[in-house]
Homo-oligomer: A and B are copies of this chain.
Amino acid sequence: MRLFLLLVAFPALVSSFVGMLPSRHKQSQGRQSQLRMMAKLPKVAVMVNGLPGAMGKEVAAACLRRGLEVCSVGLTGPQVDEECVDVDDGEGGKPQTIRLVKGPVTGAGDEECDARLQGLVAGYRESGTRLIAVDYTHPTAVNPNGMLYARHKMDFVMGTTGGDRDKLLKDVEEAGIYAVIAPNMAKQIVALQAGLETMAGTFPGAFEGYNLRVVESHQSSKADTSGTAKALIASFGTLVGKPYKVEDVIAMIRDREGQLEFGVPEAGLGGHAFHTYQLLSPDGSVEFQFRHNVVGRRIYAEGTVDALTYLAQQHGPDKKVFNMVDVLKAGAMK
């Protein structure tokens, strides 16, 4: 009953914000400012690995929108039949064909793939262009690919989750290459998560006596609980002054009807991440709410390209492996 009441509340809310969509004018202001930032960039080419996967396509589109060169070769998985895939900027721009090369299945590498990469890297180096890989492949490919990048001294942005993360880090550090490694590339969500963590650390117990309720919705294929939700629930626990068990405070929506009622647009049913956190005072007179609602994959692709442009500007001898908080903090130095 409680959940039902909550659900009926949302559709009108989301439709209400449709009227608030920004004008094209404001969008282009944002892009111009991004282009200004790009002017300071060294020449960069991006190797998109994980095509023809949906995230690979989104990343290629985001690169093209920002005027970055997309390398005409990309790594793919062993089960992929296509030899080529077309990518475009998602806004009506001219498509570009990417030739797909099978990536290594084990850390020992793959003769053909290694030879191909060696040639590519040498070619780009000669032309004064920095080749950076973006990896949205498969958890099983995280370590073989990490070792491949290490062998060829290729800097990379790793958006693929899973694999042996300690080994990945060790391989990268031993090779002395630059990388951004982050399980969540949606930088605004990472900012919120880090912001609430800092707030909780600074003001623990400020919400003593308050009660937390969380509702989240993801596409029905996602079985586990959102990692972001878990992190935020930990921060809210510190603010309330008592640690929560995630399952005690969360309601997860995975059915079509519930999702539509929660305000997920029809087009987003196949890929979305909606979160609402509520802190209610003991007497019910005060309510705080935090929401982050994402439809589709664009926020992750944009964050990935932010990570990539950040990485392209790193040349220091000390710190070479970064995460999204590093990328976010760089905003303070612009």
Contact = CB atoms under 8 A, between A and B. Distances in A.
Interface of A: 1-2, 5-10, 12-22, 26-27, 29-31, 33-34, 186-188, 191-192, 194-196, 198-199, 201-211, 213, 239, 241, 278-296, 298-299, 328-329, 331-332, 334
Contacts of A13: 9-10, 13
Contacts of A29: 209
B10 A203 contact: no
Contact of A328 (B21, B188, B203, B291): B203
Given A5-B16, A13-B10, A20-B2, A199 B203 contact: no
A278 B187 CA distance: 17
17 contacts: A5-B19, A6-B19, A7-B16, A18-B284, A26-B209, A27-B209, A27-B283, A33-B209, A33-B241, A195-B198, A195-B199, A198-B202, A204-B334, A205-B334, A285-B299, A289-B289, A289-B292
Q: Quickly give the copy total for this chain.
A: 2
B329 A209 contact: no
A293 B281 CA distance: 10
Contact of A188 (B18, B188, B288): B288
Contact of A2 (B19, B204, B328): B19
